[in-house]
């Protein structure tokens, strides 16, 4: 079967092209609007398919691309006329906000996504990131809380070190570009806020959780139950989450297509008696779709649950029409609807990409795998089918997993073979537990049984995850390899589906291209040499990289795992050595001097090129500059902020460049 011959697939592909172009070109609203108006005018003037098939095809393709560009342009916060950024953001102001989403807290702050309602006396729109300090005397905000805040917006900072997670980019894809720090004495909560479906769903979910907590569930088991059935993952411990990730089963914890597909099958079975009624099939379809979306609302309308419910709403309609076989059309229509109607920014979210990659891969590869072996024994055939589904899904998400997470769980098939067959039972049993707990009629024996099932699942996952030799980590994989990886995968699927010389040649060329790029990046890596002053709070870190090796000079090497790991993967480093930080270095015949808390430096120094201040030394920087005549003054994250501000003022008066890693990020030394 050739998927590209279906019109919905072609239109969805062109829409994706338009969204990608619009995201990168940032054309605003006027240009895309005029483009679409002109293309629509051409259609109205009579370039119909029957008379001008080529012109009609070109015009329709350009129009679909134009719609994609316009959709992503409309979704950009800065393009909305009532967006808060259009009102001026100088100084502290009075904001009226409504809490839309409660994010997972950190050790230092509680975080929320809030919708702006008013700035002063002006109505505005847009979303911001709200941060509050944890305070046991104050109740955390809830969804739908309306608060009045006095504060100043700040841009979400980019990563301060190379190859770290870009939280600013992640939040921008959610439509959030600013953040607001809330002081305990600078906000007021309205007593009777208006209610939305989000808030009602959150209250319902909170009540269910409290009723479950009243029963004798284990702490870890209860956190898994909340994740599986209510989409609440914030209570899962770091150890348990890491076990699921290393075992290749983290998708079980995120409400997604797997869970909604199982829920659809359960609903189809339970509501089958309705088909005996007049118009029973229509009633069954309406109830199935309504219950799916009700479950999505209860789970908080996360991006993963919305796309999964949308996809399986189309599947339910296909089952109603008794035409479930054309899966490619169903997936294309669901993607088209999600990107055009719900949010085109979802295209750039990792979960969206991996979800569709997994499903498309299953649809494409699973039938091919079944052709290789068709066991006669029903039990063997059942487990071979499960293994085939697991392999197909992992093939689809493998390039994305390597690109975003740089690791691959080698024993993924073990956890999937054990857990997935009983996941339907776990979800069905869990829904029964939630329903009975809601009406205060949950029997103790069912609590003990379900708690034992979840504990058993956690123990299996932990056993698989402890085999670290099968967890391949720190795999460097760039965007070119991502593209070439999917070209190889598509070429392999095409060749296995209908082998011929042309497809074999395409597959061979794709593999050669991947190998050539790997050789090129290996050569380029071997030629690199860089010296970086990295940023880390209460620590001083110099990264010296030469080819595929690196040396890390620091005062405290015990807290460098995350910083060094990201740099190692991004720069394709194979060997890392740790060294204590010294007070001076030579870098391509240029002198680097480091002054620490002892404030000791050579008096008769002839001059330095780079002066690094660490550990808040008590010095007269003006006199030091006159003595050492540095080209650049640097301050890292080990210094007090008050000292940094004073040094910055001194360098400004001396007209000397000053770089603070806490604001400008890591500093790359010039050779």
Same domain, 631 and 534: yes
Same domain, 442 and 315: yes
Distances (CA, A) of 431 to 261, 284, 426, 454, 468: 15, 20, 9, 14, 34
pLDDT at position 362 over 80: yes
Cβ burial, residue 261 (10 Å; 0-12/13-18/19+): middle
Distances (CA, A) of 556 to 492, 592, 611: 49, 20, 20
CA 280 to centroid of chain Cα atoms: 41
Same domain, 341 and 354: no
Same domain, 444 and 483: no
Interval 243-270: pLDDT, tens = 888 887 777 787 777 788 888 888 888 8
Place 28 in a pLDDT band, splitting at 50, 70 and 90: confident
pLDDT at position 426 over 90: no
Provide the percentage of residues in the chain whose pLDDT is more than 90.
35
Q: What is the mean pLDDT of residues 505-516?
A: 95
**Counted domains in the chain:** 6
SS3 444: helix
Query: What is the C-alpha separation between 233 and 104, in angstroms, rounded?
Result: 8
Tell me, what's the pLDDT at 522?
Answer: 92
Structure tokens at 669: 């030394």
Same domain, 340 and 452: yes
Q: Is the pTM of this model over 0.75?
A: yes
Interval 202-250: pLDDT, tens = 888 888 888 988 888 988 899 998 888 888 887 888 888 888 888 877 7
pLDDT at position 534 over 90: yes
Please identify which residue in the block is written with the tokens 């979210």: 349
pLDDT at position 512 over 80: yes
Query: What is the C-alpha separation between 562 and 150, in angstroms, rounded?
Result: 35
Same domain, 537 and 619: yes
Same domain, 269 and 333: yes
Place 334 in a pLDDT band, splitting at 50, 70 and 90: confident
Place 95 in a pLDDT band, splitting at 50, 70 and 90: very high
Same domain, 560 and 574: yes
Report yes or no: 564 and 576 within 8 Å, Cβ to Cβ.
yes
Place 50 in a pLDDT band, splitting at 50, 70 and 90: low
| Ramachandran region, residue 193 (left: φ > 0; alpha: ψ -120 to 50; beta: rest) | beta
Last residue of a domain, one of 175, 194, 213: 194
Least confident of 30-34, 43-47, 548-552, 635-639: 43-47
Query: What is the C-alpha separation between 261 and 311, in angstroms, rounded?
Result: 9
Same domain, 441 and 309: yes
CA dihedral 74, 78, 79, 85 (to 10 degrees): 130
Q: What is the mean pLDDT of residues 320-337?
A: 77
Place 546 in a pLDDT band, splitting at 50, 70 and 90: very high
Same domain, 367 and 398: yes
Same domain, 507 and 605: no
Place 491 in a pLDDT band, splitting at 50, 70 and 90: very high
Range of the domain at 405: 350-409
Same domain, 117 and 70: no
């Amino acid at each position: 079967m050739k998927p590209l011959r279906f019109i919905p697939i072609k239109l969805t592909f062109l829409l994706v092209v338009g969204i990608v172009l619009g995201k990168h070109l940032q054309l605003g609203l006027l240009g895309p609007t005029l483009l679409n108006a002109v293309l629509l005018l051409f259609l109205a003037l009579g370039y119909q398919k029957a008379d001008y098939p080529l012109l009609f095809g070109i015009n329709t393709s350009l129009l679909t691309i134009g719609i994609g560009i316009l959709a992503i342009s409309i979704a950009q916060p800065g393009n909305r006329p009532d967006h808060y950024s259009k009102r001026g953001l100088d100084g502290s102001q009075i904001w009226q906000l409504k809490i839309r989403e409660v994010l997972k807290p950190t050790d230092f702050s509680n975080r929320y996504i809030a919708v702006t309602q008013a700035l002063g006396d002006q109505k505005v729109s847009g979303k911001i990131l709200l941060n509050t300090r944890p305070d046991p005397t104050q109740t955390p905000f809830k969804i739908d809380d309306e608060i009045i805040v006095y504060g100043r917006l700040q841009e979400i900072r980019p990563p301060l070190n190379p190859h770290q997670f870009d939280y600013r980019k992640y939040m921008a894809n959610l439509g959030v570009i600013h953040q607001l720090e809330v002081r305990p004495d600078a906000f007021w909560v309205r007593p009777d806020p208006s209610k939305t479906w989000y808030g009602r769903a959150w209250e319902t979910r909170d009540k269910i959780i409290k009723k479950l907590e009243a029963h004798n569930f284990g702490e870890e088991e209860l956190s898994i139950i909340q994740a599986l059935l209510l989409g609440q993952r914030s209570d899962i411990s770091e150890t348990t989450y890491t076990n699921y990730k290393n075992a290749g089963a983290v998708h079980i914890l995120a409400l997604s297509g797997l869970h909604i597909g199982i829920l659809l099958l359960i609903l189809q079975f339970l509501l089958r008696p309705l088909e005996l009624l007049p118009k029973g099939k229509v009633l069954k379809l309406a109830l199935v779709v309504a219950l799916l979306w009700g479950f999505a609302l209860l789970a908080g309308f996360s991006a993963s649950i919305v796309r999964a419910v949308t996809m399986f709403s189309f599947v339910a309609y296909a089952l109603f029409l008794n035409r479930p076989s054309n899966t490619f059309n169903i997936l294309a229509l669901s993607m088209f609807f999600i990107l055009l109607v719900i949010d085109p920014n979802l295209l750039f979210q990792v979960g969206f990409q991996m979800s569709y990659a997994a499903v498309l891969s299953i649809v494409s590869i699973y039938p091919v795998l079944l052709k290789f072996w068709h066991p006669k024994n029903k039990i063997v055939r059942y487990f071979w089918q499960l293994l085939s589904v697991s392999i197909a899904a992992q093939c689809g998400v493998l390039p994305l997993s390597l690109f975003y997470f740089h690791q691959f769980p080698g024993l993924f098939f073990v956890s999937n073979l054990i857990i997935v067959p009983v996941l339907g039972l776990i979800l069905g049993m869990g829904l029964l537990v939630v329903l009975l707990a809601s009406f205060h009629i949950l029997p103790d024996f069912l609590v003990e049984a379900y708690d034992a099932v979840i504990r058993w699942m956690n123990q299996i996952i932990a056993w698989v995850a402890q085999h670290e030799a099968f967890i391949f980590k720190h795999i460097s994989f760039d965007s070119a390899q991502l593209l070439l990886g999917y070209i190889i995968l598509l070429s392999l699927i095409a060749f296995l589906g209908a082998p011929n010389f042309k497809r074999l040649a395409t597959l061979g060329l794709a593999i050669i291209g991947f190998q050539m790029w790997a050789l090129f990046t290996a050569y380029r890596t071997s030629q690199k040499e860089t010296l970086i002053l990295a940023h880390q709070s209460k620590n001083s870190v110099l990264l010296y990289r030469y080819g595929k090796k690196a040396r890390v000079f620091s005062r405290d090497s015990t807290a460098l795992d995350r910083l060094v790991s990201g740099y190692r993967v991004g720069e394709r480093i194979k060997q890392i050595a740790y060294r204590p930080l010294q007070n001076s270095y030579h870098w391509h015949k240029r002198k680097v001097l480091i002054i620490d808390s002892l404030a000791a430096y050579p008096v008769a120094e002839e001059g330095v090129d780079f002066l690094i201040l660490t550990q808040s030394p008590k010095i007269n920087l003006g006199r030091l500059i006159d003595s050492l005549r540095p080209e650049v003054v640097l301050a890292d994250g080990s210094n007090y902020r008050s000292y940094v501000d004073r040094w910055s003022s001194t360098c400004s008066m001396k007209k000397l460049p000053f770089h603070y890693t806490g604001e400008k990020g890591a500093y790359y030394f010039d050779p």
